[in-house]
């Protein structure tokens, strides 16, 4: 087995399930895997800090210093995984068979983490450190519950306090080793109607909150998407609105006095979330409208020097022309990732890593070994190409 394969197996065998919702296991949180990553980075003679966003749920921050520290590259996989409830394989087994590594996080996103760490280990062991660029490993907690770790890091002013402005960030995600330089944002909303409860035998004495929600449901399902149908993106398509949760009523013989729905809006980078919120408030005055989560889209220019450098590496490995041929490795995504909050904080960023998003969150998650090993090679090529 190669080093990166064995490393991924170790990572999978450390449960780091996000505790929100139904994790499917009592072994939750990122504390143990953060300590594992921190110990690994210390062995690479990196400066390491733990930043606790919540109790025993840290970001782990490692810095491999260059001679001048003129530039700074962030490698940012998230430490947490989604629930293991309903999995059909041993979630923490890390089994190698059929040319794959199996287990929760194999693809999303411990595969990227292993590839990044393996590349760091190799440049250290081969003494091929960049002259002017510091390499940062930022293992982030809470991505699967709304980017909690990167939000905490960016809001803490961590880099500013050190007098550092990172030049570029890579969120480790399963992108099939394609460069996701644009992705959709997410605006999650809760709409609430209020009525008046009464006995179910006399509905005329009450005010049914569920019935009052009908107008809002029709608006979200039909009118609102139509209002944004004119917007179209060549990589991302159109924005979407999905009604995903409904709650109302307490008992069959009580007229409900409250009803709630939740809406998942996946937006294009050029959209204004504030405008969407205001539009809904104006159209539905009978509803209370609450923002659950507000995450921006990503729109990193394709001609960014780091994007072009990575695209050139991928093109050379594929034997295609480095110029126009590199464009084949640029893509967009309908999901969002930690890179969007890096970019919002002024750090040009992308999502990139081995593995397929089609395997993320599945009952039998795996990553192809060949893809994992190629990912480690690509990250090594990138780090050795830094100035």
Which tokens hold the place of 278? 């205001």
pLDDT attached to residue 329: 96
pLDDT attached to residue 325: 66
User: What sign for the dihedral angle of Cα 202, 204, 208, 211?
Assistant: positive
Which tokens hold the place of 377? 């090679």
Helix (H) or strand (E) holding 218: helix 214-218
**CATH code at 218?**
3.30.70.360
pTM: 0.93
**Whether residues 18 and 162 fall in one domain:** yes
Q: Is the pLDDT of residue 193 over 70?
A: yes
Look at residue 193 and give its three-state secondary structure. strand
As a whole number of angstroms, the distance between CA 140 and CA 148 comes to 8
As a whole number of angstroms, the distance between CA 300 and CA 295 comes to 15
**Whether residues 75 and 201 fall in one domain:** no
Q: Is the pLDDT of residue 125 over 90?
A: yes
Domain boundary (273, 295, 317) is at 295
* Dihedral (Cα; 129, 131, 133, 135), 10-degree rounding: 20
C-alpha distances in angstroms, 159 versus 155, 300, 350, 359?
Answer: 10, 20, 19, 34
**Whether residues 33 and 166 fall in one domain:** yes
Mean pLDDT of the chain: 96
Domain boundary (249, 272, 295) is at 295
Closest C-alpha among 257, 272, 266 to residue 205: 257
pLDDT digits (tens, 9 = 90+) for 173-192: 999 999 999 999 999 999 99
**Whether residues 153 and 191 fall in one domain:** no
As a whole number of angstroms, the distance between CA 365 and CA 85 comes to 12
Question: Which residue range is the domain that position 132 belongs to?
Answer: 3-183+297-384
As a whole number of angstroms, the distance between CA 191 and CA 276 comes to 13
Q: Is the pLDDT of residue 214 over 90?
A: yes
**Whether residues 85 and 193 fall in one domain:** no
* Dihedral (Cα; 274, 275, 276, 277), 10-degree rounding: 50
The secondary structure of 168-192 as a DSSP string is: EEEEE---TT-EEEEE-EEEEEEEE
Span 302-316, average pLDDT? 96
pLDDT attached to residue 146: 86
pLDDT attached to residue 122: 98
Share of the chain above pLDDT 90, in %: 96
Return the biggest CA–CA distance within the chain.
Answer: 80
Look at residue 290 and give its three-state secondary structure. strand
Residue whose pair of structure tokens reads 């009118």 in the numeric block: 223
**Whether residues 158 and 194 fall in one domain:** no
pLDDT digits (tens, 9 = 90+) for 243-262: 999 999 999 999 999 999 99
According to DSSP, the residues that pair with 289 across neighbouring strands are: 191
**Whether residues 206 and 167 fall in one domain:** no
pLDDT digits (tens, 9 = 90+) for 58-106: 999 999 999 999 999 999 999 999 999 999 999 999 999 999 999 999 9
**Whether residues 23 and 125 fall in one domain:** yes
What lies within 8 Å, CB to CB, of 180 at 6+ separation is 173, 298, 331, 332, 333, 337, 339, 350, 351, 352
Domain boundary (295, 328, 352) is at 295
**Whether residues 304 and 368 fall in one domain:** yes
**Whether residues 140 and 165 fall in one domain:** yes
**CATH code at 92?**
3.40.630.10
**Whether residues 215 and 137 fall in one domain:** no
Q: Tell me whether strands 366-368 and 100-102 are parallel, antiparallel or unpaired.
A: antiparallel
**Whether residues 111 and 57 fall in one domain:** yes
**CA angle, 347 then 353 then 358, to 5°:** 120
According to DSSP, the residues that pair with 261 across neighbouring strands are: 191, 246
* Number of separate domains in the chain: 2
């Amino acid at each position: 087995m190669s080093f990166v394969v064995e490393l991924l197996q170790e990572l999978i065998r450390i449960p780091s399930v996000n505790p929100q919702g139904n994790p499917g296991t009592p072994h939750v949180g990122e504390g143990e895997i953060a300590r594992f990553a921190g110990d690994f980075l210390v062995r690479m003679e990196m400066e390491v800090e733990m930043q606790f966003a919540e109790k025993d749920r840290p970001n782990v921050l490692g810095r491999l210093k260059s001679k001048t520290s003129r530039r700074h590259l962030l490698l940012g996989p998230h430490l947490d995984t989604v629930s293991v409830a309903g999995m059909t394989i041993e979630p923490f087994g890390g089994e190698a068979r059929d040319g794959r590594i199996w287990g929760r996080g194999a693809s999303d996103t411990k595969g990227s983490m292993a590839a990044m760490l393996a590349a760091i280990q190799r440049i250290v062991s081969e003494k091929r450190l960049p002259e002017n660029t510091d390499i940062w490993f930022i293992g982030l907690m809470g991505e699967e519950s709304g980017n909690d770790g990167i939000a905490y890091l960016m809001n803490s002013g961590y880099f500013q306090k050190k007098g550092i402005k990172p030049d570029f960030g890579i969120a480790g995600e399963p992108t099939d080793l394609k460069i996701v330089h644009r992705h959709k944002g997410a605006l999650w909303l809760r709409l609430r109607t209020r009525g008046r409860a009464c006995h179910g035998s006399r509905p005329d004495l009450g005010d049914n909150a569920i019935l009052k929600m009908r107008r809002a449901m029709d608006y979200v399902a039909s009118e609102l998407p139509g209002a944004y149908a004119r917007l179209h993106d060549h990589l991302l398509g159109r924005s979407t609105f999905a009604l995903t949760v409904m709650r109302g009523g307490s008992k069959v013989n009580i007229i409900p006095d409250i009803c709630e729905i939740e809406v998942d809006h996946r937006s294009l980078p050029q959209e204004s979330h504030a405008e969407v919120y205001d539009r809904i408030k104006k159209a539905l005055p009978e509803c209370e409208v609450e923002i659950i989560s507000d995450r921006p889209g990503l729109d990193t220019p394709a001609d960014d020097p780091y994007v072009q450098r990575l695209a050139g590496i991928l093109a050379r490995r594929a034997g295609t022309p480095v110029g126009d041929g590199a464009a084949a490795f640029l893509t967009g995504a309908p999901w969002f990732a930690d890179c969007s909050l890096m970019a919002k904080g002024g750090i040009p960023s992308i999502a990139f890593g081995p593995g397929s998003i089609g395997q993320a969150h599945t009952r039998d998650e795996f990553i192809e070994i060949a893809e994992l090993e190629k990912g480690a090679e690509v990250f090594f090529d990138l780090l050795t190409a830094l100035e």
